Structure 1
């Protein structure tokens, strides 16, 4: 009996340490009552998933806390997790914002800054006032999803197959990221320190341009979790899809 209790205690301590040594980063996109794509989820599913994450004992991080973890710090934080969104749809103001306040959970949104306030057919993007309000609430941080390269990222990335650091494409990227950083700073009052690459496409030129423009933490579409001290330039993420449930999201986070 005593041996069983000892083994159980050791196992629990090991699991506790293991949970604290890796950082899963979830990535959402759109929240819709009627889901129209695989990267959307319903408001009900989203709120249930965030509530379950909180009740499972996970600790939602800010970007600065994430940077500290990826640099080898934040050793006393239990079950860290980062919750992110790409693109910056207006649905996040309508649904994610109330959920974040209700559950008291930190979240990060990567916005395509050239689309702030835009209302193209079938979708709407966050406007400046909404971004400012969400940021000032203390529950949301904002990073870049480039200024206006989202549509052209794949074409630009292909251009690097025959490019070098003096290629005009490199200057295009630098100017775009500078515009993105300036736009966000004008809206929220502070310079953004994080960027998520569209389609997860990046190389050393993208990384260099991001660093030069003050982006300290770079997020990819590489699937997986991140070890403590694994670095800030190739952060892996876990996509949440329309098919995910509370149980599948918790499983993706490593919760049993």
Structure 2
């Protein structure tokens, strides 16, 4: 009888030791990193070279960080599901072709997951013609489908990644509030219909193209209002992201989750320090 008892004790010790390294305290901080575009030999606040990007990802991996998905984050925030130790959420905005050509092989090399918030109207099929050839090239739906093993795609609106003049004369993000459209100030109803139709359309197209429905939106320029949050929730989103350059905790508003802007000039060690101080 001793062997079964010893085996049971051993199994229990393994289970409890594994659960002790899981991440789940309400006070634990989760860094959410925000990238945009990669370009060789260029590093600034929104662009990073592939060499520097690899150095950052390699450093995160060697420091014991485990990349998570937005679905995992949602499950942690809403269903108390545990996350791996030292979780980090890696995100990209806009949907640049460089994410496919340069970031994808690096993330795959280090087995790190990431999310891309795409401006849905700017993602086309291979045989479609882009209307604006002066902008930085974006990925195609075929490329997004190819990257399923590493990326999940979320919404950066259908076509509201621009700024408009509000009723008070100030320039703000297009989803913020009633704005001047072709010289005429929208009514509250017109604003709500414009924004919610944009949000819903972005979700529907991603689902039609990729086979799953996005659960999160990053607001253009990180600008959001209480009205826009209500519209995002009404459209069916479960999480929303802004840019406050701090890590999140479990009690944060799920529709104003902060991200940390990663500077292309940051070394891997400097990025770790930035995360530590966030």
TM-score (norm 2): 0.78
The answer to whether the 8 Å contact 1:71/1:231 transfers is: no
Q: State the structure with more CA Rg.
A: 2
CA, structure 1 residues 228+165, in 2 after alignment: closer, same or farther (shift >3 Å)? farther
Deviation string 1:38-83 (CA, Å, 9 cap, x unpaired) is 3000001111111111110111111111112333724463111100
Aligned to 2:46: 39
Residue 81 of structure 1 aligns to a residue whose secondary structure is: strand
What's the secondary structure of 2:90's corresponding residue? Answer: strand
Contact 1:144 1:180 in 2 (8 A): yes
Q: Flag as ranges the 4+ runs of structure 1 deviating above 3 A.
A: 16-20, 155-166
Higher percent of residues as helix: 1
1:114 aligns with 2:121: yes
Deviations 1:128-184 (A, max 9, x none): 10011112x2x2111011111001362535644999994311110011111111111
What CA distance in whole angstroms lies between the structure 2 residues aligned with 1:25 and 1:210?
Answer: 20
Q: Residue in 2 aligned with 1:149?
A: 160
Which one of the candidate residues 24, 28, 52 is aligned to 2:35? 28
Single out whichever of 114-123 and 236-245 deviates more from structure 2.
114-123
Aligned to 1:233: 255
1:123 corresponds to which of 136, 140, 155: 136
Task: Identify the residue that residue 78 of structure 1 maps to in structure 2.
Answer: 85
Return the offset for 1:205.
Answer: 2.0
Alignment of 1:47-196 (within 5 A): 47-71=54-78, 73-75=80-82, 77-117=84-124, 118=130, 120-121=133-134, 123-135=136-148, 137=149, 139-152=150-163, 154=172, 156=174, 159-160=177-178, 166-196=188-218
Over the residues paired in the alignment, what is the CA RMSD in angstroms? 2.7
- Larger mean CA deviation between 208-217 and 47-56 belongs to 208-217
Is the contact between residue 165 and residue 205 of structure 1 (CA under 8 Å) also seen in structure 2? no
Q: SS at 1:84's partner residue?
A: strand
Which blocks of at least 5 consecutive residues in structure 1 are unaligned? 1-12
Question: How far apart are residue 214 of structure 1 and its match?
Answer: 2.0
Counterpart CA distance in 1 for 2:53 and 2:197 is 35
Q: In the aligned structure 2, how far is the partner of 1:109 from the partner of 1:158? A: 22
Q: Identify if the C-alpha distance between structure 1 residues 248 and 208 changes in structure 2 by more than 3 Å, giving closer, same or farther.
A: same
Give the alignment partner of residue 230 of structure 2, picking from 197, 203, 208.
Answer: 208
- Alignment partners' CA distance in 1, 2:231 and 2:187: 11
1:254 aligns with 2:276: yes
CA positional deviation for 1:202:
1.1
Preserved contact between residue 59 and residue 78 of structure 1 (Cα < 8 Å):
yes
- Tell me, in whole angstroms, the C-alpha distance in 2 between the residues paired with 1:158 and 1:54: 37
CA displacement 1:69-119 (0-9 Å, x = unmatched): 333724463111100001110000011111121111110000000111346
- SS state at 2:276 partner: coil
